[in-house]
Structure 1
Amino acid sequence: MNAPRNKQGAKPTGKGASGSPVDPVLSELRPGQSLELLQELHILTRDGRLNQDSRRKLKQVYHLFNFIEPLLAELSADGHSPSLADHGAGKSYLGFILYDLYFKALSRGHIYGIETRSELVDKSRALAQRLGFGRMSFLNLSVAESADAAELPVQIDLVTALHACDTATDDAIAFGLQKRARAMVLVPCCQAEMAACLRQGKALQLSRTPLAELWRHPLHTRELGSQVTNVLRCLYLEASGYQVTVTELVGWEHSMKNELIIARYTGQKKRSAAERLRAILREMGLEQAMAARFGLQPVAVLGAEADSSAETAAP
Structure 2
Amino acid sequence: MSRRAAPPAPPLHEALPELRPGQSVALLQELHILTREGRLNQDTRRKLKQVYHLFQLIEPLLREQAEGGHAPVLADHGAGKSYLGFILYDLFFRPLGRGSIYGIETRAELVERSAALAERLGFGGMHFLHMSAAESADASGLPERIDMVTALHACDTATDDAIAFALRKRARALALVPCCQAEVAACLRQHKALQLARTPLAELWRHPLHTREIGSQLTNVLRCLYLEAQGYQVTVTELVGWEHSLKNELILARHTGQRKRSAQQRLEALLDEFGLRAALGHRFGVAPAAEGVAEPTTAAEPR
Instruction: Note whether the superposition's TM-score is higher than 0.5.
Output: yes
Report the residue type matching 1:197 in the other structure.
C
SS at match of 1:186: strand
Q: Distance in 1 between matches of 2:103 and 2:43?
A: 24
Seen in structure 2, the aligned counterparts of structure 1 residues 133 and 196 have a Cα distance that, compared at 3 Å, is same
How far is the alpha carbon of 1:288 from its aligned partner? 0.6
Structure 2: which 5+ residue stretches go unaligned?
1-5, 293-303
Seen in structure 2, the aligned counterparts of structure 1 residues 87 and 97 have a Cα distance that, compared at 3 Å, is same
Matching of residue 94 in structure 1 with residue 69 in structure 2: no
How far is the alpha carbon of 1:55 from its aligned partner? 3.1
- Selected match of 1:141 from 131, 140, 158: 131
Two-structure CA RMSD over aligned residues (Å)? 2.2
Report the residue type matching 2:182 in the other structure.
A
- Give 1:263's aligned residue: 253
Kindly indicate whether the alpha-carbon contact (under 8 Å) linking 1:281 and 1:291 is maintained by their aligned counterparts in 2. Answer: yes
Kindly indicate whether the alpha-carbon contact (under 8 Å) linking 1:190 and 1:226 is maintained by their aligned counterparts in 2. Answer: yes
SS at match of 2:154: strand
CA deviations on 1:265-287 (whole Å, 9 max, x unpaired) are: 01111111111111111110111
How far is the alpha carbon of 1:237 from its aligned partner? 0.2
- In the superposition, the TM-score normalised over structure 2's length comes to 0.89
- Give 2:33's aligned residue: 43
Kindly indicate whether the alpha-carbon contact (under 8 Å) linking 2:192 and 2:206 is maintained by their aligned counterparts in 1. Answer: no
Q: Distance in 1 between matches of 2:255 and 2:11?
A: 46
The share of aligned pairs that are identical, in percent, is 74
How far is the alpha carbon of 1:27 from its aligned partner? 1.8
- Give 1:82's aligned residue: 72
SS at match of 1:28: coil
- Give 2:200's aligned residue: 210
Report the residue type matching 1:127 in the other structure.
L
- Give 1:180's aligned residue: 170
- Give 2:299's aligned residue: none
- Selected match of 2:156 from 156, 166, 177: 166
Matching of residue 153 in structure 1 with residue 143 in structure 2: yes
- Give 2:109's aligned residue: 119
Report the residue type matching 2:262 in the other structure.
S
CA deviations on 1:48-105 (whole Å, 9 max, x unpaired) are: 2234443343222221111111111111111111000001111111111111111111
How far is the alpha carbon of 1:8 from its aligned partner? 9.6
- Give 1:310's aligned residue: none
SS at match of 2:150: strand
Q: Distance in 1 between matches of 2:186 and 2:43?
A: 32
CA deviations on 1:158-185 (whole Å, 9 max, x unpaired) are: 0000111100100000000000000001
Seen in structure 2, the aligned counterparts of structure 1 residues 182 and 47 have a Cα distance that, compared at 3 Å, is same
Bigger drift between 55-64 and 149-158 goes to: 55-64
> How many equivalent residue pairs?
287
Report the residue type matching 1:113 in the other structure.
G
Bigger drift between 54-63 and 40-49 goes to: 54-63
- Selected match of 2:59 from 54, 66, 69: 69
- Selected match of 1:289 from 265, 274, 279: 279
Matching of residue 103 in structure 1 with residue 93 in structure 2: yes
Alignment of 1:18-57 (within 5 A): 23=15, 26-57=16-47
Q: Distance in 2 between matches of 1:53 and 1:90?
A: 21
- In the superposition, the TM-score normalised over structure 1's length comes to 0.86
- Give 2:3's aligned residue: none
- Give 1:223's aligned residue: 213
Q: Distance in 1 between matches of 2:140 and 2:34?
A: 36
SS at match of 1:303: coil
